[in-house]
Every structure is written in structure tokens, then in C-alpha cells.
Structure 1
Amino acid sequence: MVLWHPPNAPWVKLKTNGAFSTSTLAVEERGLVRGSDGGLLRAFYAPVAASSSFEEELLALIRGLEMAMELSIHIWIELDSVGLVSLLSSGHLSSADFRHHMALIRSMTAQRQVRFSHIYREGNRDANFLAGRGVQTLALTYFDPISAPRYLKVLVRMD
């Protein structure tokens, strides 16, 4: 069983995820920020243009960081991509294809206290719930604790 643990105050936890379908070429990004009480602070989903699943994960993280930076300077980032967590923790900028995304993430996190960790897909159910919704809409969609879909609120409470 995979359990999710809320961060200690004043930290917030950002969980992002992406989906890239090679068969349909549908690409989406999604994520959510939760507070030290475990409650949902903000969430988003959107279709996005990316050339690979790795690029999509980076774009979702950038969007999530923009959202989390409005809420706290202490951001704990949980991702279900072990490779991306390793890359972000290492300080390297990645291949030339993704260097500009990595440089942007580095500059966004430079003046903040940021922590990266891996979470298994099973512990990322709330972010995964947003899967499919991003390609159903033509625009970026944000949620707060009141406007979030009912099932997302249930998943957050279940954690």
C-alpha cells in the first residue's frame, strides 16, 4: 500500500503528471498543490504541445511551479517519474532538447526552498484523476478547493 503524507508547515506539496499517447498524439499536463493539512489548495489540467512524455512531464512541472510559487516559498515536489526526480536532484541540465525547460525550472526554484521526491503512481491518484480531462478541454483550467471536481475532492480526503 502506498500512502501519501502531507508536508509540515509552511511547506506545500506539488504533484504533477503528464500523459503522452503515441497512438493519438494527445498530450496533457496536470497537477495539484496541497497544504500541510493535506487539503487541496489548487489544481490544474490542460492540453499541451510536447514532443515526448519527458518533455510533457517538464512542462507540467513548470505549470505546477507557477501555481505553487503563488502559495509558498517552501515547495516539495513529488513526481512519479524516477528519471525526472534524479535529473532535478542532480543539478544537471539534461540534453540539448530539454535544456531550456531545465534552465527555467532552475531559475524558478533558485530563490525558494525546494525538495524533490518520487511517489509511486498509486500514491498519485489525485493527479492521475485529472488525466483525460486536459484533452477534453481546449484551455488551461484551474481549480481551487471549492471549484474542484467532486471526485478529486474525495481522492484528496481519502489520502
Structure 2
Amino acid sequence: MVLWHPPDAPWVKLNTDGVFSSSTLDAGEGRLVRGSDGGHLRTFYAPIAASSSFEAELLALIRGLEMAMELSTHIWIELDSAALVSLLSSGQLGAADLRHHMTLIRSMTSQRHVRFSHIYREGNRAADFLAGRGVQTPALTNYDPTSASRYLKALVRIDQLGYPNFLFRHRDVD
């Protein structure tokens, strides 16, 4: 069971996700910022140019930070990439080909109160949904709370009400 938790005021929570298809080389990003009531404040998805899933995650985070920084100096960043959360929490810059992204993230967060946490994909369903839409769209698309699709509104509301998302693991049975 995975629960999404809203931030305490004055914090906002940024959930992002990046996807990359190695077969088509298409990539997309999804990002949403939510307030202390759990409702979404800003939402975007877009296609992106990335060479790996990890780079797609980094690019979604950078663009999400730009969006969240317009709203607050207290940003809780929650990602479903445990590897990225670990790298961000360690203070290291990672692989040479991605260091410019990590340096930019460090610069962007240096004058803010920032917290990083991991959430399983099941708890990051809204951002995951948006990233999937990002691959399918030709350009940046944004939603406000009234223009969002019914499905996105439902995902946000499920989190807002504290309903659990379930994590199913396949177990081999002899």
C-alpha cells in the first residue's frame, strides 16, 4: 500500500516523472505542483529530448523545479526514481554525461528549502500519467485545476483524500 502525503504549509510538493522508450527513442515528462491541501496548483506535460530514462527523469525535475520555484521557496520534491533521489541526497554529481543537469539542479535548489523523497510509481500516478501523455503530444501542454482532464482530477482527488494506491509484486509460486 502506497500513500501520497500533502506537504505542510508553506511547502509545495513537486511530483515529476520522465519516461523514455528505447525502442522508439521517444521521451516525455510530466510534472505537477500541489499545495498543502493536496490540490494541484500547476500541471504540465511535454515531449522531451532525452537519451535514457534517467536523463528523462532529470529533465522533468529541472522543468518541474522551474515551475515550483515560481510558487514557493519551500519545495518538497518527490520522485519515483529511487536512484535519482539517492543521487540528489548524496551531494554527488553522478555520471559525467549528466553532470551538467545535476549542477543545474544543485544551483536551482541552493537558495531554497528543499526536501527530496522517494515514492513508488503507484503513489506517483498523476505524474506518471502526465509523463505518458508527454510522449504522445507534440508540444508542451498545461492544465490548471479547472481545465485538467477528468482522469487527472480523479488521480489528484484520490491522493488528496488519502486513499491508498496498491503496489503489487509478482511472486513465483512453485
Shorter-normalised TM range: over 0.9
Q: Work out the CA distance in 2 between the residues paired with 1:21 and 1:116.
A: 26
Q: Deviations over 1:66-104 (max 9, x none)?
A: 000011000000001111000001111111100100010
Alignment of 1:65-80 (within 5 A): 65-80=65-80
Q: By how many angstroms is 1:128 displaced?
A: 1.4
SS across alignment from 2:55: helix
CA contact (8 A) 2:30 2:129 kept: no
Match of 2:131 in 1: 131
Match of 2:156 in 1: 156
Q: Work out the CA distance in 2 between the residues paired with 1:91 and 1:23.
A: 33
Match of 2:170 in 1: none
Q: Work out the CA distance in 2 between the residues paired with 1:103 and 1:131.
A: 23
CA contact (8 A) 2:46 2:131 kept: no
SS across alignment from 1:153: helix
Q: Percent identity?
A: 79
Q: Say which is worse superposed, 106-115 or 144-153, in terms of deviation.
A: 144-153
Q: Work out the CA distance in 2 between the residues paired with 1:125 and 1:6.
A: 14
Q: Deviations over 1:109-130 (max 9, x none)?
A: 0100000000011101111121
Matched letter for residue 5 of structure 1? H
Q: Are 2:11 and 1:30 aligned?
A: no
CA contact (8 A) 2:29 2:132 kept: no
Q: By how many angstroms is 1:26 displaced?
A: 1.2
Runs of 4 or more consecutive aligned structure 1 residues displaced over 2 Å after TM superposition: none
Q: By how many angstroms is 1:138 displaced?
A: 1.5
Q: Work out the CA distance in 1 between the residues paired with 2:87 and 2:150.
A: 35
SS across alignment from 1:133: helix
CA contact (8 A) 2:28 2:135 kept: yes
Q: Work out the CA distance in 1 between the residues paired with 2:138 and 2:47.
A: 7
- Number of equivalences: 159
The unaligned stretches of length 5 or more in structure 1 are none
- Aligned CA RMSD, in angstroms, stands at 0.9
Q: Work out the CA distance in 1 between the residues paired with 2:45 and 2:3.
A: 23
TM norm structure 1: 0.97
SS across alignment from 2:13: strand
Q: Work out the CA distance in 1 between the residues paired with 2:148 and 2:66.
A: 18
The unaligned stretches of length 5 or more in structure 2 are 160-174
